[in-house]
Amino acid sequence: MTRRTDWSGSEDVTSGAAGEAEDRSGRKGRKNGGGPTSSRAETGPPRTPEEQARAICLRLLTGSPRTRKQLGDALHQRGIPEEAAEEVLSRFEDVGLIDDAAFADAWVESRHHGRGLARRALARELRTKGVDSAVIDVAVSRLDSDQEESTARELVDRKLRTTRGLDREKRLRRLASMLARKGYSEGLALRVVRRALEEEGEDPELLDHHLPDV
């Protein structure tokens, strides 16, 4: 709690300085209507790189959680010196405003249940966001093989109706490709598709012409 107070100290100082400047401009405004003096007060002194970095990070985190790398890239793009950026990012980690492990867990939960993505696709997405490999491994391991297969079957069941009327080979290819794009292994994809089509009434012997025995 003390650290959070320390972080907000620069805002308090800035607000106080702005209040004093406004008071001065207000007194002068009774004489000159608050002309150029008021504009100068609103502008205020230039902020330090650390203050700028802190403001940028807070603004980005207000929109959605971000990884340390995402925030670091944003600071670099805005010209924040590396030393100032690293200091601010480390402080944000210390107080829990940046937590890559929590980000990865939430990402896996959301993207698996919302988009049906498998562990391989989830790991790929987290890598692009700069999450450490060890953190990714822990996050995706929360999805076991049974959960993956269950989700894959739900995806196939939803897609089956839209593929009816296609020839058998095209249908098989479309369903398996859909699972592959979501990160499911070839073996799991073929197994799930085969079982779904058999339960729908497809002849297993005819499926053997297009699918390996998995």
Secondary structure, 3-state, 63-110: HCCCCHHHHHHHHHHCCCCHHHHHHHHHHHHHCCCCCHHHHHHHHHHH
List pLDDT tens digits, range 190-207.
889 888 888 887 655 555
Q: How far is CA 77 from CA 72, 97, 99, 137, in A?
A: 9, 21, 22, 29
- How far is it, in rounded angstroms, from Cα 105 to Cα 100? 9
List pLDDT tens digits, range 3-43.
333 333 333 333 333 344 344 344 444 444 444 444 444 45
List pLDDT tens digits, range 40-94.
444 566 689 999 999 999 999 998 999 999 999 999 999 999 999 999 999 999 9
Question: How many CB atoms are located within 10 Å of the residue 26 CB?
Answer: 13
pLDDT score of 212 more than 70: no
